[in-house]
């Protein structure tokens, strides 16, 4: 056990410089692991430690050694080595207690020696211990002991890295969501309106009153697209993608009516008009899947007939879109064809499964099945 001794306090200016540098790391690093790697390098260099470890806490409270920093050699990822296993004793104590833990190293191992100490302390996030940092070095000048005095402060400071990581993931998730919504909602509407405008331009012999009615439909479609963009820009919930008070069955019927009027295709809703989905996010996923399937049938399959069906079959909720088009061409999708990937992702997020059956002679059938409990 380490005997108590008088330790000279480190220079205050040098210590505050280290804390300021750690604060900059906590504010600028993109994620927890990279930030802790940089923090260990800062502390190891400032305190004269030859060795530092970063341990990450995984799901279930498992402690994993992420990286090791060696003075004059830099940092490197930690890979399990059966001949030189990592000693988890000290970091596990720090994880279990939530406080800094000391250990004197008096053995004959490579990095042990007289007066050498190891100190491990937890990195604290709002949800608990996110990681453990361990430093090994001589306690000359009392620098490592001073680290023990401020371990809680530094642990909370570095815990801000978890917030940065969560914010970065939230931003990435929101970008993906907005991109998918733009493709599946506004993109599909504008594509349909473009087809409608081209067909209108080809009707040069039509009477003015007929053209005026068609222009009214075009203006209404553009207005709907504008509402979609405004909804996304205001960050409203998925339920805002349907008209206020409109259920899924009604939204699917409206979708087929718009497709029929804009594209000149026989498009109809043949499902159970009384069937509703209580969860707004699930209902939105199903609506977007139908929207993508109908658009693909008209634009790429050149279908003359499209049917959208929604009903319960035994315990499953089933959404099915059938068409008599050319089917899906074999081979990998084009680089800009994200529609099928979006449909599969939406089905997965809704807790269901998506199947696509396509044939050049009989068209395409897209089916999304949600088991009981997922809707």
Confidence of residue 161 (pLDDT cuts 50, 70, 90): confident
CA-closest candidate to residue 271, choices 373, 368, 372, 361: 368
Report the pLDDT value the prediction gives residue 53, as an integer from 0 to 100: 94
What DSSP state is assigned to residue 278? S
Together in a domain, 282 and 375: yes
Handedness of CA 238, 240, 242, 248 (dihedral sign): positive
| Coarse DSSP helix, strand, coil percentages of the chain, rounded to the nearest 5 percent | 50, 20, 30
Torsions phi, psi for 332 (to 5 deg): -65, 150
Together in a domain, 124 and 263: no
Angle between helices 151-181 and 32-47 (to 10 degrees): 150
∠ CA 179-185-186, nearest 5°, is 85
- Comparing 237 with 268, the larger pLDDT belongs to 268
Confidence of residue 228 (pLDDT cuts 50, 70, 90): low
Together in a domain, 160 and 271: no
8 A C-beta contact, residue 122 and residue 131: yes
Position of tokens 């530094």? Answer: 154
8 A C-beta contact, residue 120 and residue 133: yes
Q: Is there a domain that residue 186 lies in?
A: no
Count of domains forming the chain: 2
Mean pLDDT in residue range 339-368:
88
* Secondary structure element (H or E) that encloses residue 187, with its range: none
Q: Which domain holds residue 363?
A: 246-375
User: Please, which contacts does 112-116 make with residues 24 or more away whose CB atoms are closer than 8 Å?
Assistant: 115/139, 115/140
What DSSP state is assigned to residue 59? G
Judged against a pLDDT cut of 70, whether residue 151 lies above it is answered with: yes
- Comparing 296 with 206, the larger pLDDT belongs to 296
Q: Is there a domain that residue 46 lies in?
A: yes
Q: Is there a domain that residue 174 lies in?
A: no
CA-closest candidate to residue 44, choices 10, 79, 8, 18: 18
CATH of the domain at 23: 3.30.450.40
CATH of the domain at 354: 3.30.565.10
Together in a domain, 164 and 250: no
Domain closes at, from 168, 183, 208: 168
How many angstroms separate the CA atoms of 123 and 101, rounded?
A: 13
b/e sequence 129-140, b meaning 16+ C-beta within 10 Å? bbbbbbbbbbbe
Confidence of residue 2 (pLDDT cuts 50, 70, 90): very low
Listed range (16-20, 95-99, 179-183) with the worst mean pLDDT: 179-183
8 A C-beta contact, residue 148 and residue 100: yes
Handedness of CA 268, 271, 274, 280 (dihedral sign): negative
Together in a domain, 163 and 307: no
Q: How far is CA 221 from CA 123, 165, 187, 197, 227, in A?
A: 53, 40, 12, 11, 10
Together in a domain, 159 and 254: no
Listed range (105-109, 214-218, 338-342) with the worst mean pLDDT: 105-109
Q: Is there a domain that residue 252 lies in?
A: yes
Together in a domain, 20 and 163: yes
Confidence of residue 147 (pLDDT cuts 50, 70, 90): confident
- Comparing 96 with 301, the larger pLDDT belongs to 96
Alpha helix (H) ranges present in 98-244?
Answer: 143-149, 151-181, 188-201, 208-233
Together in a domain, 254 and 371: yes
Together in a domain, 147 and 281: no
- Tens of pLDDT along 31-89? 888 899 999 999 999 888 999 999 999 887 899 999 999 988 887 776 655 555 778 99
Mean pLDDT in residue range 300-324:
91
Domain closes at, from 145, 168, 191: 168
Listed range (41-55, 135-149, 188-202) with the worst mean pLDDT: 188-202
Confidence of residue 360 (pLDDT cuts 50, 70, 90): confident
Judged against a pLDDT cut of 50, whether residue 4 lies above it is answered with: no
How many angstroms separate the CA atoms of 239 and 224, rounded?
A: 15
Report the pLDDT value the prediction gives residue 237, as an integer from 0 to 100: 38
- Comparing 241 with 288, the larger pLDDT belongs to 288
Look up the pTM and report it.
0.46
For residue 68, how many other CB atoms are within 10 A of its CB?
20
Residue 192: burial class (beta carbons within 10 Å; 0-12, 13-18, 19+): buried
Together in a domain, 259 and 128: no
What DSSP state is assigned to residue 240? G
Judged against a pLDDT cut of 60, whether residue 92 lies above it is answered with: yes
Mean pLDDT in residue range 268-280:
89
Listed range (137-146, 168-177, 208-217) with the worst mean pLDDT: 168-177
- Tens of pLDDT along 236-263? 333 344 444 468 999 999 889 888 877 7
Largest CA distance in the chain: 102
Domain closes at, from 124, 150, 168: 168
How many angstroms separate the CA atoms of 150 and 147, rounded?
A: 5
Q: What is the mean pLDDT of the chain?
A: 78
- Three-class DSSP category at 362: coil
- Comparing 336 with 31, the larger pLDDT belongs to 31
Together in a domain, 258 and 156: no
Q: Is there a domain that residue 199 lies in?
A: no
∠ CA 300-305-310, nearest 5°, is 100
Q: Is there a domain that residue 270 lies in?
A: yes
Half-sphere exposure of 29 (CA within 13 A, CB side): 23
Q: Is there a domain that residue 193 lies in?
A: no
Together in a domain, 149 and 282: no
**Both structure tokens of 55:** 């341990």
Confidence of residue 146 (pLDDT cuts 50, 70, 90): confident
Listed range (145-154, 216-225, 236-245) with the worst mean pLDDT: 236-245
Confidence of residue 115 (pLDDT cuts 50, 70, 90): low
Q: Is there a domain that residue 331 lies in?
A: yes
């Amino acid at each position: 056990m380490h005997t108590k001794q008088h330790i000279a306090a480190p220079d205050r200016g040098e210590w505050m410089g280290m804390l300021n540098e750690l604060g900059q790391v906590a504010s600028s690093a993109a994620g927890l692991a990279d930030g802790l790697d940089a923090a260990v390098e800062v502390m190891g260099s400032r305190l004269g430690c030859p060795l530092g470890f970063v341990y990450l806490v995984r799901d279930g409270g498992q402690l994993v050694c992420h990286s090791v920093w060696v003075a004059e050699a830099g940092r490197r990822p930690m890979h399990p080595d059966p001949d030189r296993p990592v000693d988890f004793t000290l970091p596990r104590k720090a994880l279990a207690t939530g406080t800094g833990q000391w250990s004197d190293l008096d053995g004959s191992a490579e990095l042990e020696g007289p007066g050498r100490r190891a100190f491990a302390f937890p990195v604290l996030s709002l949800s608990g211990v996110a990681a453990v940092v361990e430093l090994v070095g001589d306690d000359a000048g009392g620098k490592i002991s001073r680290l023990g005095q401020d371990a809680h402060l530094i642990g909370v400071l570095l815990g801000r890295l978890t917030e940065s990581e969560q914010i970065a993931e939230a931003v990435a998730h929101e970008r993906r969501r907005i991109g998918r919504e733009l493709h599946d909602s506004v993109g599909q509407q504008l594509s349909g309106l473009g087809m409608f405008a081209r067909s209108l331009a080809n009707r040069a012999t039509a009477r003015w009153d007929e053209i005026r009615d068609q222009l009214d439909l075009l203006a209404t479609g553009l207005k709907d697209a504008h509402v979609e963009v405004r909804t996304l820009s205001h960050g409203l919930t998925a339920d805002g993608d349907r008209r206020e008070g409109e259920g899924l069955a009604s939204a699917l019927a409206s979708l087929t009516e718009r497709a029929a009027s804009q594209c000149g295709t026989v498009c109809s809703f043949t499902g159970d008009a009384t069937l509703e989905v209580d969860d707004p996010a699930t209902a939105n996923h199903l609506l977007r899947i139908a929207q993508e399937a109908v658009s693909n049938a008209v634009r790429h399959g050149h279908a003359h007939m499209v049917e959208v069906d929604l009903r319960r079959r035994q315990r499953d909720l089933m959404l099915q879109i059938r068409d008599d088009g050319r089917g899906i061409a074999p081979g990998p999708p084009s680089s800009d064809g994200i529609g099928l990937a979006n449909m599969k992702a939406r089905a997965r997020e809704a807790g269901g499964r998506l199947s696509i059956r396509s044939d050049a002679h009989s068209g395409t059938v897209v089916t999304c099945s949600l088991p009981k409990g997922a809707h």
